[in-house]
């Protein structure tokens, strides 16, 4: 930090009062660039069910748009939206400027409707990550939902035995915490960490669940452990 002092006069009277002006200038050092972060492979999963109408869906769209604009060219992303039907709004792709612009235009068209298939939407996001996840990448599935009219016990039955590694934020409604506690998992594609978001964490179970992900070119195992 460099400090520079400038006064309006070089001399000040020793006796009597006077008004003087002093300008202090601070110059911060050049920022040091740290190590670049690893590339990320993200799936944005947007709940577009009827309960997400109004301000909720607006905030969800805005959050995804802001996140997309923060991605680097080396990153990958995909966008999934769901109600009782699941749509891949944007398949997994490199985060080029053009791809981000196209995705934002698609996200802006998402409107609330229908019922809720949170489990299917979450799984579709994990599949998008698993198809292209590299060893050096960090994979995350980001779920944006109010978790309204979700039967947590039904989802938990389908994903029993999965290990949860999770972090999240929400309104604090008990149903939201319940759903995320029972459904979130750390996905692995070819034994590489892929995704997980939840309100709370839970110790791993001894049992393991494997979900087959089919690709036009090849098949992989999306392992939830």
Report pLDDT digits (tens) over 110-162.
999 888 888 788 889 889 998 999 988 888 989 888 876 555 555 555 455 44
pLDDT at 224 over 60: no
Does 192 have pLDDT greater than 50?
A: no
Is the confidence at residue 1, as pLDDT, over 70?
Answer: yes
The DSSP element (H or E) to which 155 belongs, if any, is helix 152-158
Asked if 199 and 166 touch (Cβ cutoff 8 Å), the reply is yes
What letter would DSSP give residue 164? B
Residue 123's closest CA among 149, 158, 93, 89?
158
Q: Return the pLDDT at 99.
A: 96
Kindly give, in sequence order, each residue whose CB lies less than 8 Å from that of residue 84, ignoring residues fewer than 6 positions away: 49, 114, 115, 116, 117
CATH number of 40-224: 3.40.50.410
Q: Is the pLDDT of residue 182 over 80?
A: no
């Amino acid at each position: 930090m460099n400090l520079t002092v400038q006064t309006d006069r070089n001399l000040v009277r020793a006796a009597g009062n006077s008004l003087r002006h002093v300008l202090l200038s601070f110059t911060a050092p050049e920022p040091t660039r740290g190590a670049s972060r690893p590339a990320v492979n993200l799936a944005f999963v947007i709940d577009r069910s009827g309960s997400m109408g109004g301000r909720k869906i607006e905030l969800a769209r805005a959050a995804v748009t802001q996140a997309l604009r923060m991605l680097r060219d080396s990153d990958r992303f995909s966008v999934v939206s769901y109600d009782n039907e699941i749509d891949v709004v944007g398949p997994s792709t490199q985060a080029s400027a053009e791809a981000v612009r196209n995705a934002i235009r698609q996200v802006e068209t998402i409107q609330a409707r229908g019922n809720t298939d949170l489990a299917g939407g979450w799984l579709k996001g994990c599949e998008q990550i698993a198809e292209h996840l590299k060893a050096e990448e960090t994979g995350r599935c980001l779920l944006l939902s109010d978790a309204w009219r979700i039967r947590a016990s039904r989802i938990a039955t389908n994903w029993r035995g999965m290990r949860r590694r999770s972090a999240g934020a929400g309104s604090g409604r008990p149903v939201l915490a319940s759903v995320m506690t029972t459904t979130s998992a750390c996905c692995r594609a070819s034994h590489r960490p892929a995704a997980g978001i939840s309100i709370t964490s839970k110790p791993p179970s001894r049992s393991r669940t494997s979900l087959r992900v089919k690709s036009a070119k090849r098949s992989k195992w999306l392992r939830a452990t």
